[in-house]
Structures are given as C-alpha cells and as structure tokens.
Amino acid sequence: MRQFLQASVLVMAAALLLSCNNNKSIEQTYLESVENIREAWAPDRRVAVFEVDVARESGTWVVAGETSSHEAWEELMVLSNRVLPPGHRFKVNMLPDAELGDSVYAQVRISVANLRRNPGHTHELVDQVILGTRLKLMKRQGGWYYAQTPYGYLGWITGASIAIHDKAGIRDWKRSDLRQVKALVSFIRQKPDETSLVVNDATMGATVKLIDEGRRYSSVELPDGRRGYIPTAHLAEQVDASVWRAPDGNKIVETAMKLHGIPYLWGGNSTKGFDCSGFTQTVYRAHAYQLPRDASQQVNTGEEIQPDEDFGNLEPGDLIFFGPENRITHVGISLGGPQFIHASSYVEINSLREGDPDYAPDRRRTLRYVKRITDARE
C-alpha cells in the first residue's frame, strides 16, 4: 500500500511539473510574440501605448493591458486565440478609453500647459503644449488626462488646462478664422486697452479664433469660449501645414535669434523656457514644419550632411546633433558655418571652430550628425 501511495505521489508530482513546465512554455511563447508585436506597432513608448501581460488566474489564462494601436490590438487577439487554450480571457483595453465617449478631443486653454510622466504635479515634466494646441485624449485618472500631442508625444495633463470637445466641436474650431500669435509673449485683455484686466497670456505659436480685426486691437476667442482683445500686430494668419513648403533656413535663424537668452527648462517647449529639442521644435513649428519632440527623434528627419573640416558647407537652419557614441542627447540650429544656436543653460550661440571666442570643445567632441530639412517631406 505504501509503495502504491509513493507511486501515486510521484505520478501527481510529475503531472504537476509537466503542467507547470507547459504553462511556463505557453507564457514564454506568448510573451515573446507580444514583444514582436510591440516592436512592429509600438516600439517607442513616447508616442504609443502598449502595456500587455499574461497570467493564470484561478486556472484560466488572462491577457490584460492596454494599447493605443488598433493593429497591435488585433494581432494580440489573433495571437491569444492561437497560443492560449480555449476559455482564456482577453482584457486588453483599446485606447482612447470607451468611458470618454466622443469627447476625446481637447485644446489647451492656458498659455502653457505641462505634460508629465505620471499624473501628479511632482512627476517629471516631459513636454509642454501651448494655447490652442489640439490634443487627443486617451484616458482619465482623477483630475488628469493622458493626452497625445499633434506630433504623437504622450503625457498627463490636468483637466483644468484643457477645453474638451466632441468631434463636432473640434471640427467647428478648425473651420474658424484662426490666427497665430507671433509675438514672443502677448496678453489677451478684457477691453482693447493695455491697462485692462488680463484674460489670458499667450506665447509665440499660440492659436486663437479671430472674431473681429481692428486697427490696434482684435477681438479673439479662446478654445474654452472666453473672449478678449489682443494687439493686432501680435497676430499672423495661421499657415496651413497641409500645404507644405520647405522652411527657409535664413528665416529659421531669424526666429531662433529672437529667442536668444530664454532660460533652459527640462521639458520646456514654449517661449517661457526651452530644453534643446523644445527650442528647435518651436522654431521650426513657427515656419509650418512639425519636428518630432526629442533630439533622438528629430535626428531621423532631414537629409544627412557631411560637414567639411571648417564647417563651411553648413547652411542656416541645419540641425546639428550631439551626444556620446550611438546616442543623441542634444540638438542645435546652425547659423551657417561653424556657429550654432541652442538651448543649453539658456538659448545661446556657440561655435564648432577651435579658436573662435565662443568655441565649445565639448560640443565639437560630441558632434554626431548634421541634418538638413529639404523639399521632400519626411
């Protein structure tokens, strides 16, 4: 009898071990395929959501997570049906979250709004968006929304910073007579008088709706419906980015020079403060060219230029990238030749040529690429 019991225990242990190994094999196979799907559809966490895991709960395989890629979601469904046993549960949420309904469109309603790594004011500042910028809302957590910018960047923004619209509301705004603020800083006031109470401030590149254009002041509307007056000289017609044109390098430099002296701010992307790539993005955006957000993304745009020994072939507006080997960590804008302007401790001018008063040996040593934005859209 004892021998029988011992044999039974061994059989049960072997079966359990086989089951565990089988479950481990299923999980490993599944997660390896999940990683392949991530690489195909959502390789960059800065611009796409893809958080998926698989586990056994009470004997049932459960796939849970979320993604912003419809293609990835569909491939996960196919993978689950192929690899997992019948009866598994698929709980991967497709973003935007269904609880938002049709109200997944928003616009920034203040001069500069912060995008953070996680919901909460103490978390890392990853980007900023300015007045009038259109956002796509992904999900909500308390008073915070996970939002995506027009250039794909993701971050958490406070609900108080945005005006939320449905599809019809955002369509009506886009069809309005929109104007772009061209002054570095401007104020929208209750009355057409510089002593009147400020309704909102605005930075370069902000978008407002024109209600009535006057000689000295124009009446404008903000995304949340508030109205006020702004100096007419501070407004420019909004350039249609769909009617694309290569930016003029000399005009790029002209705009960049206007920002000289503005302080550095990690995650900064407005004329109140810049990081290096926020500076280049703001300058190019003022000329209807949308660069990606980070230097490591911007380096993938444009035509590569091999600089001459004296940098004489660098043209105004060229993007200059720096960093340790195999990594891009900094970007600036060429003034033509060896000089460039960039956001370091503040927006300043340096040179790549040894012997120049503004020579920056550390930048010369870490120079990696020069890119030129050409007539071909990237």
The set of catalytic residues is 276, 330, 342
The secondary structure of the chain in percent helix, strand, coil, rounded to multiples of 5, reads 25, 35, 40
The Cβ-side half-sphere exposure at 77, using a 13 Å CA radius, reads: 9
Ranges of H-type helices in 218-351: 249-258, 276-285, 295-298
CA dihedral 85, 90, 92, 97 (to 10 degrees): 170
Place of tokens 């104007």: 179
Joined tokens for residue 325? 């080997």
Q: Answer for the pair 61, 88: CB distance below 8 angstroms, yes or no.
A: yes
CA dihedral 263, 271, 288, 316 (to 10 degrees): -30
What is the C-alpha separation between 183 and 205, in angstroms, rounded? 8
Return all residues near 21 (Cβ < 8 A) that are at least 6 apart: none
Joined tokens for residue 254? 């002209």
Residues in the chain: 378
The Cβ-side half-sphere exposure at 126, using a 13 Å CA radius, reads: 21
Partners of residue 210 on adjacent β-strands: 220
Joined tokens for residue 91? 């709980």
